Amino acid sequence: MMLRPSLLALALLLSLPAVAQDRPPDGPGGGDGKSADKVHDERVAKEVGDAWVSPPVAEREVATAHSINIGGRTLKYHAFAGTLTLRDNDAKPIASVFYTAYTLDGANPNSRPVTFFWNGGPGSSSIWLRMGSFGPMRVQTTSPETIRPAPYAFGPNPDTLLDKTDMVYIDMIGTGYSRPLGDVKAKQFWGVDEDADAFAQTIMRWTTKNSRWSSPKFLFGESYGTTRAAAVAYQLQDRGMALNGVILLSSILNYGIEQSGYDQSYITYLPSYAATAWYHHKLANRPPELAPFLDQVRAFAAGPYAQALAKGHDITPAETDDIANKMSALIGISPEYIKRANLRVDLGRFEKELLRDQRLTVGRFDSRYTGVDADAAGENPDYDASDTAIAGAFIATFNDYLRRDLGYKTDMPYLVAAYGEKGFDWDFKHRAPGGWGRQNNPDVAVDLAAAMRTNPYLHVLSLNGWYDMATPFFATEYDIAHMMLEPAQKKNLEFRYYPSGHMIYLNPDALHQLHVDLSSFYDRTVNAATPRGKI
């Protein structure tokens, strides 16, 4: 239960030492017989309670006008920063959800697409997509390099998607400025199904408030945000909101293949290991082109390697030697190391081992990045260089941009993530469409498949980075291939690949290609759903 501000402040203050200069003189506290200490504590508790900042129950929105020049064309738009209030079935306010939105001036809302964006975690705000991807302003990145401390390069984004779609960036409850209301606890939203329900409600509320029910609609999720996107797509469709498209950036749809004791994760990681070894020139016979090489690695991983792992400890020494030698030629690690790992090289071990001779580690989110540990003898990296390289620039720039350019001011702290919050514990149980009960290790590919079967116009675009070792591309291909779609639905699936990591948009060249590919996707998808005549 959430304590009232005055009571919580009093509880905290009673544990603090006295501040002599603020206290009344010794002796009776007044005519009511209160002690001087009690009078002081009550006064300070009231001051703290009066200054307590709470999330707004009434919806709040700040609108500002802007323009951006793209390729000689000036786009005028409005930016919105605000909150949406979610309510339960009895209309009781249960959460305040923070968002930023960008809408093109003068566009016809009935034909103008709108896309809802979010990051993942689970437990992350959407600061990363908001500040680095397709908004009209972005942090300027030169991948794969660590961004220098302030001042940061921040400015107009020539690859903004504003030319194709309005954009709404949403922060998960318990992150950003999104908070539960009243006696509702954030934990009530921290689960696969609970979170998907909250996002579905948020989208429907924004759509209703802005009279956009007739607009083409898209979801864009990154990382765990793809898990959310698949679940939300089905939930929205089940509530009467049919979507035009779902865009999956760096996907994880099926947590079942991640279970320890199973070999599938080793199989799906192998092509990402190979791409990383190719990038860092650790292959004895390095092919000139990456994509054809990875086709060979995929075939080896799904064939001889998978068959070898399936034998468990019954594999013969000769078979072990053969597989280890072939793996070594593909992923740049010695056969001896591979054999010591029983042909199963964990991600952390690979990150540490590949460049051990240079006393470097490779990144998890983007294996092009390299880090330096305290020593070169450990088993796993001390940190992820691809994570620490960008965080400071994104967080600092967002705080400045929100207040200075978007005019949104609050004394609430912006929570970049909920991971460090006391009691954060994500419920991974999920009730899939047609399933019996809620199951651990969610497979939301089932939800996405159900949405595609019942909506023949729903298109899905999978965006993948070759050097992403947080959500490897071969695992995404496996998950989607097991949606078991009929040919009519399968034709609505597309894949694209980029020379980047988990956050593909950090690579400026990849971001430009993303814009080209997404522009085409929006055109084809919206046109496919356009009626050919009046009824």
Of residues 96, 106, 5, the one with CA closest to residue 59:
96
How do beta strands 459-465 and 493-498 pair?
A: parallel
H or E element that contains 487: helix 487-490
DSSP 428: -
Residue 526's contacts (CB-CB under 8 Å, 6 or more residues apart) are 111, 113, 216, 244
Of residues 498, 496, 494, 513, the one with CA closest to residue 467:
498
Of residues 407, 415, 404, 401, the one with CA closest to residue 61:
407
End-to-end CA distance of the chain: give it in Å, rounded: 54
Could you tell me the fold of the domain covering 61-257+408-529? Rossmann fold (3.40.50)
Rg (CA), the chain: 26
Helix (H, G, I), strand (E, B) or coil at 245: strand
Quick check: 94 pLDDT over 70?
A: yes
H or E element that contains 453: helix 445-454
Residue-wise pLDDT for 303-316, tens only, equals: 999 999 999 999 99
What is the largest distance, in Å, between two alpha-carbon atoms of the chain?
Answer: 94
Residue that the structure tokens 């607009």 belong to: 215
Report, as an integer, the average pLDDT of 501-511. Answer: 96
Q: Which amino acid is at 118?
A: W
Whole-prediction pTM value?
0.89
pLDDT (0 to 100) of residue 39: 73
Residue-wise pLDDT for 126-175, tens only, equals: 999 999 999 999 999 987 888 889 899 999 999 999 999 999 999 999 99
Residue-wise pLDDT for 37-55, tens only, equals: 777 766 766 655 555 567 9
Report, as an integer, the average pLDDT of 61-84. Answer: 96
pLDDT (0 to 100) of residue 66: 98
Quick check: 97 pLDDT over 50?
A: yes
Residue 93's contacts (CB-CB under 8 Å, 6 or more residues apart) are 57, 85, 86, 87, 181, 182
Separation CA 206–CA 99 (nearest Å): 10
508: tokens are: 């400026």
Of residues 420, 440, 418, 419, the one with CA closest to residue 429:
440
Report, as an integer, the average pLDDT of 437-462. Answer: 93
Average pLDDT, the chain: 90
Share of the chain above pLDDT 70, in %: 89
Separation CA 306–CA 20 (nearest Å): 72
How do beta strands 217-223 and 179-180 pair?
A: unpaired
Helix (H, G, I), strand (E, B) or coil at 341: coil
Residue spans of the domains in the chain: they are 5-50, 61-257+408-529, 262-388
pLDDT (0 to 100) of residue 17: 41
Please say whether the beta carbons of 297 and 326 come within 8 A: no
pLDDT (0 to 100) of residue 52: 54
**Sign (positive/negative) of CA torsion 73, 76, 81, 86?**
negative
Quick check: 12 pLDDT over 60?
A: no
Report, as an integer, the average pLDDT of 239-262. Answer: 90
Separation CA 146–CA 477 (nearest Å): 30
pLDDT category, 388, cuts 50, 70, 90?
confident
Quick check: 360 pLDDT over 90?
A: yes
Range scoring the smallest mean pLDDT among 70-84, 157-171, 247-261: 247-261
Quick check: 472 pLDDT over 60?
A: yes
pLDDT category, 15, cuts 50, 70, 90?
very low
